[in-house]
Amino acid sequence: MRMNAQRGAVLIVSLVFLMLLTLLATSSMQNATLQEKVAGTLMLRNASFQSAETALRTAEADLMAPAFSLPACTSPASCLPPPEALTLSATSAGVASGVDWVATRSGFYGIQHIGQTDQPAGGSDGQIRTLYRVTAVGLAGDSRTVLESIHTRERRVMWRQRQ
């Protein structure tokens, strides 16, 4: 009689142990899946940032070309940062801002002539300098990065990432 009772106990202990191992394996797989999703999101975010930085550098190189010319903004509203940069998905003339968007490999850029100053950030030599806003959009998967710089024909004056 005792022998049968012990065999039943071994079966119950084995089943409990198997259930614990199953819970541990399930938890580990969920953790691994979550980490993979986070890594994928970070990869896309980095790729969109790099695309935006490439578009920004391309636009700044165009801006510094000797033949570059762009008319000044026609109103204070048209000198604002282009709002469509946060939603743009194809090249077109900006409906709200009037910015002409140029396609790059994985994004867009637009340039605005926003005015003149004799005191750009970083010093002044008394010369009048023309200021341009360069807005670059980088896309990768569902990630979007919008970078913006204020530039003279000689150098970048300011840089920021828009949210």
User: Mean pLDDT throughout 31-36?
Assistant: 93
Q: What are phi and psi of 149, to 5 degrees?
A: -135, 150
pLDDT confidence of residue 99: 86
- Compute the radius of gyration of the chain from its Cα atoms: 29
**Measured between alpha carbons, how far is 53 from 36 in angstroms, rounded to an integer?**
26
Q: What is d(CA 97, CA 83) in angstroms, rounded to the nearest whole number?
A: 7
109 pLDDT higher than 90: yes
Instruction: Convert 105-143 into a string of H (helix), E (strand) and C (coil).
Output: CCEEEEEEEEEEECCCCCCCCCCCEEEEEEEEEEEECCE
The pair of three-digit structure tokens given for residue 70, joined into one six-digit string: 């762009």
pTM listed for this prediction: 0.77
Work out the average pLDDT over 8-14.
Answer: 85
- CA torsion, ordered 158, 64, 98, 118, to nearest 10 deg: 50
Q: What is the pLDDT of residue 137?
A: 95
Write b or e for each residue in 137-153: b if 16 or more Cβ atoms lie within 10 A of its Cβ, otherwise e: bbbbeebbbbbbbbbbe
Task: Dump pLDDT digits (tens) for 16-31.
Answer: 999 999 999 999 999 9
Sign of CA dihedral 37, 39, 44, 45: positive
The three-class DSSP label of residue 100 is strand
Average model confidence (pLDDT) across the chain: 87
Separation between Cα atoms, residue 49 and residue 152, nearest integer Å: 23
Residues 6+ apart with CB under 8 A from 57: none
